[in-house]
């Protein structure tokens, strides 16, 4: 803020009946309280920060998006590896969570993970399943995760196939299948290497 102007007159400092600090170049008439006088060659001191005039209103807390809504054009960077899109994914179990990189695979009916990628995070075993995708077709353990989180989306209570990767598929942690991809809206920007997630209109 610019400094108050300097005037050859005297300045008077006092508090009014409401307790507000005032400065004036004329003495307050009928003021019962103390009045401080400053020479005109001295600029009056800055306004008392405790007065209502100078207090700034507190900033309102940031609003969180409503549950279940996704803002438009949220982006997630991906890695392109051997013409495969690898996305960062978070898998949540009953005893912890793991950050993995999964290949987007529209040919896989469900999501599956390599066993070594999610050790001891509490994925509940519920049986066996025959899983098919770019890693081939084989039997795998069927487990349930509390959630998988990709970009702004969280899919809860997810059934996942848990299997060994084989020697040709060790450079990623599993496949993100159509059980997730068919439930979300997205665009792939290969030039910028991002997935653009589409929220509700």
DSSP per-residue letters across 71-120: -TTEEEE-EEETTEEEEEEEEE-SS-EEEEEEEE-TT-SS-EEEGGGSTT
Residue 66 has pLDDT above 50, yes or no: no
152 and 122 share one domain = yes
Q: For residue 95, name the pLDDT band (cuts at 50, 70, 90).
A: very high
The alpha carbon of 88 is separated from its chain's Cα centroid by a whole number of angstroms, namely 15
- The total number of structural domains that make up the chain: 2
68 in any annotated domain: no
Backbone angles phi, psi at 181, to 5 degrees: -65, -30
Q: What is the pLDDT of residue 67?
A: 37
d(CA 120, CA 94): 9
**Chain mean pLDDT for the chain:** 74
65 in any annotated domain: no
52 and 136 share one domain = no
44 and 105 share one domain = no
80 and 49 share one domain = no
pLDDT in tens, 188-198: 999 999 999 88
d(CA 193, CA 163): 29
* Weakest mean pLDDT among 8-12, 40-44, 172-176: 40-44
Which residues, in sequence order, are CB contacts of 82 under 8 Å at separation 6+? none
84 and 161 share one domain = yes
pLDDT average, residue stretch 53-80: 58
pLDDT in tens, 40-63: 544 445 444 444 444 444 555 444
pTM above 0.75, yes or no: no
Residue 77 has pLDDT above 70, yes or no: yes
How many residues does this entry show for the chain? 201
pLDDT average, residue stretch 77-103: 93
């Amino acid at each position: 803020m610019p400094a108050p102007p300097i005037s050859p007159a005297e300045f008077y400092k006092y508090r009014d009946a409401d307790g507000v600090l005032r400065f004036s170049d004329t003495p307050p008439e009928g003021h019962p309280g103390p009045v401080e006088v400053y020479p005109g060659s001295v600029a009056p001191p800055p306004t008392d920060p405790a007065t209502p005039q100078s207090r700034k209103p507190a900033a309102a807390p940031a609003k969180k998006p409503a549950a279940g809504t996704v803002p438009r054009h949220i982006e997630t960077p991906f890695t392109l590896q051997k013409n495969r899109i690898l996305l960062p994914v978070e898998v949540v179990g009953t005893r912890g969570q793991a950050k993995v990189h999964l290949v987007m695979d529209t040919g896989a009916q469900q999501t599956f993970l390599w066993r070594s990628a999610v050790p001891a995070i509490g994925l509940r075993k519920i049986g066996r399943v025959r899983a098919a995708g770019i890693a081939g077709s084989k039997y795998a353990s069927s487990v349930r995760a509390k959630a998988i989180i990709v970009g702004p989306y969280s899919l809860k209570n997810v059934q996942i196939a848990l299997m060994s990767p084989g020697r040709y598929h060790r450079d990623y942690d599993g496949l993100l299948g159509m059980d997730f991809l068919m439930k979300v809206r997205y665009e792939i920007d290969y030039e910028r290497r991002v997935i653009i997630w589409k929220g509700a209109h």
